[in-house]
Amino acid sequence: MQILVVHGPNLNLLGTREPEVYGAHTLKQIDDDLRQKAQEAGAQLDTFQSNHEGALVDRIQAAGRDGTRFIIINPAAYTHTSVAIRDALAAVALPFVEVHLSNIHRRESFRHHSYVSELAVGVICGLGPLGYQLALQYALNHRGA
Give the Cα-Cα-Cα angle 38, 41, 14 (nearest 5 degrees): 20
List of residues contacting ligand DQA (CB under 6 A) = 10, 74, 76-77, 79, 100-102, 104, 111
- Identify whether the C-beta of residue 15 lies closer than 8 Å to the C-beta of residue 26: yes
Nearer to ligand DQA, 68 or 102 (CB): 102
Q: Which of 22, 78, 115, 132 is catalytic?
A: 22
The phi, psi pair for 123, rounded to 5°, reads -130, 130
Quick check: helix, strand or coil at residue 7? Answer: strand
Residue nearer to ligand DQA on the CB measure, 106 or 143? 106
Question: Are 101 and 129 contacting, i.e. CB atoms less than 8 angstroms apart?
Answer: yes
Is residue 80 annotated as involved in ligand binding?
yes
Between 21 and 90, whose beta carbon lies closer to ligand DQA? 21
Select from 2, 17, 35, 3 the least CA-distant residue to 101. 17
CB of residue 86 to ligand DQA, shortest distance in Å: 15
100 is catalytic: yes
Tell me, yes or no, if 78 is annotated catalytic.
Answer: no
Rounded CA separation 77/81 (Å)? 7
Q: Which member of 7, 52, 78, 100 is catalytic?
A: 100
Binding residues: 74, 80, 87, 101-102, 111
Binding residues for substrate: 74, 80, 87, 101-102, 111
Q: Supply the residues annotated as catalytic.
A: 22, 100
